[in-house]
A and B are shown apart, each in its own frame.
Chain A
């Protein structure tokens, strides 16, 4: 690793940790969400340093999108709209602090004390291609299961959250025309 990429790594690392801390220090939901987005983006950009271009850029893409969607949900579902007012980002302070420090010490000491195996073989020439192969070949079953579970979760969450579902729209006869305050864009 050259000096320049060393500097870039430490700057990105400090940015990721700093904005990560800011998530709990700021008093606004918008600032907390986007501090988290910046933190994730810094991690994504750090991945570029180890030539994981695709994974790095996709991390930035997914995390920005995720935080934007979080901004939608926080205002939708937080009662009495505290999301729009200054508020504390922590619930209870002592227990989580003890847990967090404990976890950090446990994992940190583990990563320092465990005898790491030496590297066998060499990294693939194209890590993105080997990631794609792993996802589509040996780990295909896992990915298929996970995506089905995730999709079911999304649908279930939407059904629970939606104020008007199909029986509100159609009444008892689901084949009739729906009664909507505003008709959809494709003429239904």
Chain B
């Protein structure tokens, strides 16, 4: 696989189309695993027809702005991910770019809960921040591991460095912590406390119609964007036999998203305050040790 070519911002619509199509395939396949392949489509159609509810003294600007930002963040994340030999922007600091965007999600989820001026939605919003404070640092150090091994923050270099051996093979702990982070920033599975039923849907409690669709769909897009980045950073990007690079990226992305969604469904919900201790006392040292191993291997 050769050098990565930046195709420029004119191709952003195509990147958005690819992201949407990949997410549609993933969501349909995930529905099929549950015996209802039409479920995401039916839900989207229902929400599109639903009338928007409003609450008293809602902060519409921040609330609606936040849900609109969720899919935009997903698109900006994949803008630096190489699809085979093409990428929208070949940013020299692609890893940090992704990291900055997953921090923007703190704002997205908190503001989505804040906007409705509803107590339960705000409880959900603060649950997200509590979890985020615990998963973000391990995630950052997990992201640093492939960058250290590739000696570059550019995603093209990270892919090139995995031509011999995928990073997941010798940094499995970083990959596991990274996947935990993806479930965290999409508020899924064990990290679904911000949107769980015990607070009537949490930060999404008052969302309806298009707003709800944007947040729910945005969380799917973010899962796929997170998987696409994980494929690039740990699973060799477009590397693979027979098929062209871009197809391998898409296939691996769909598979990783499906595995993440399926694993998330099988895990019990974690209380936000209990996960905090796990994040700081288990995930963070694990990520740091992994980084130490990678750094020592690189120096030797």
Given A57-B97, A182-B274 in contact, is the A64-B111 Cβ separation under 8 Å? no
B: interface residue count bin: 20 to 34
With a CB–CB cut-off of 8 A, which chain A residues contact B91? 53
The 0/1 profile, CB within 8 Å of B marked 1, for residues 174-188 of chain A is 000000001111101
**Are A186 and B107 touching (Cβ within 8 A)?**
no
**Are A37 and B96 touching (Cβ within 8 A)?**
no
**Are A185 and B129 touching (Cβ within 8 A)?**
no
**In the complex, what's the smallest C-beta–C-beta distance from A12 to chain B, in angstroms?**
16
**B window 11-27: CB within 8 A of A:** none
Is residue B104 within 8 Å, beta carbon to beta carbon, of the partner chain? Answer: yes
**Are B278 and A37 touching (Cβ within 8 A)?**
no
**A window 112-168: CB within 8 A of B:** 128
Cα–Cα, bound, A84→B61 (Å): 16
**Are B104 and A182 touching (Cβ within 8 A)?**
no
Chain B residue at minimum C-beta to C-beta distance from A86: B57
Is residue B277 within 8 Å, beta carbon to beta carbon, of the partner chain? Answer: yes
Given A54-B96, A54-B153, A72-B126 in contact, is the A186-B277 Cβ separation under 8 Å? yes
**Are B274 and A184 touching (Cβ within 8 A)?**
yes
**Are B100 and A71 touching (Cβ within 8 A)?**
no
Cα–Cα, bound, A30→B114 (Å): 8
Is residue A67 within 8 Å, beta carbon to beta carbon, of the partner chain? Answer: yes
Is residue B273 within 8 Å, beta carbon to beta carbon, of the partner chain? Answer: yes
**Are A28 and B106 touching (Cβ within 8 A)?**
no
Is residue A169 within 8 Å, beta carbon to beta carbon, of the partner chain? Answer: no
**Are A185 and B270 touching (Cβ within 8 A)?**
yes
With a CB–CB cut-off of 8 A, which chain A residues contact B111? 30, 34
Partner of B106, one of A31, A58, A64, A184: A64
Partner of B96, one of A58, A64, A67: A58
Chain A CB count within 10 A is highest, among B61, B62, B96, B282, for B96
Is residue B103 within 8 Å, beta carbon to beta carbon, of the partner chain? Answer: yes
Is residue A65 within 8 Å, beta carbon to beta carbon, of the partner chain? Answer: yes
Given A71-B110, A182-B273, A185-B270 in contact, is the A58-B100 Cβ separation under 8 Å? yes
With a CB–CB cut-off of 8 A, which chain A residues contact B61? 31
Cα–Cα, bound, A124→B271 (Å): 49
**Are B92 and A53 touching (Cβ within 8 A)?**
yes
Partner of A64, one of B104, B133, B278: B104
Is residue B276 within 8 Å, beta carbon to beta carbon, of the partner chain? Answer: yes
**Are B93 and A186 touching (Cβ within 8 A)?**
no
**In the complex, what's the smallest C-beta–C-beta distance from B18 to chain A, in angstroms?**
23
With a CB–CB cut-off of 8 A, which chain A residues contact B136? 65
Given A64-B103, A65-B106, A71-B129 in contact, is the A185-B275 Cβ separation under 8 Å? yes
Chain B residue at minimum C-beta to C-beta distance from A44: B100
Prevailing SS type, chain A contact patch: helix
Given A60-B100, A72-B126, A185-B277 in contact, is the A30-B59 Cβ separation under 8 Å? yes
Is residue A100 within 8 Å, beta carbon to beta carbon, of the partner chain? Answer: no
Chain A residue at minimum C-beta to C-beta distance from B273: A182
**B window 69-102: CB within 8 A of A:** 91-93, 96-97, 99-100
Is residue B295 within 8 Å, beta carbon to beta carbon, of the partner chain? Answer: no
Cα–Cα, bound, A84→B57 (Å): 11
Is residue B132 within 8 Å, beta carbon to beta carbon, of the partner chain? Answer: yes
Partner of A28, one of B59, B271, B274: B59
**A window 63-117: CB within 8 A of B:** 64-65, 67-69, 71-72, 75, 84
Chain B residue at minimum C-beta to C-beta distance from A54: B93
Question: B residues within 8 Å of A by Cβ?
Answer: 59, 61-62, 91-93, 96-97, 99-100, 103-104, 106-107, 110-111, 114, 122, 126, 129, 132-133, 136, 153, 270-271, 273-278, 281-282
26 inter-chain pairs at a CB distance below 8 angstroms, sorted by A residue, are A28-B59, A30-B111, A37-B107, A53-B91, A60-B104, A61-B96, A61-B99, A61-B103, A64-B104, A65-B103, A65-B106, A65-B136, A67-B107, A68-B103, A68-B106, A69-B133, A71-B114, A72-B126, A182-B271, A182-B273, A182-B274, A183-B274, A185-B270, A185-B277, A186-B277, A186-B278
Known: A53-B91, A53-B93, A68-B129. 12 other contacts (CB 8 A): A30-B111, A54-B96, A58-B100, A61-B103, A65-B103, A65-B106, A71-B114, A186-B277, A186-B278, A186-B281, A186-B282, A188-B277
Top-3 shortest CB links A-B: A185-B274, A61-B100, A184-B277
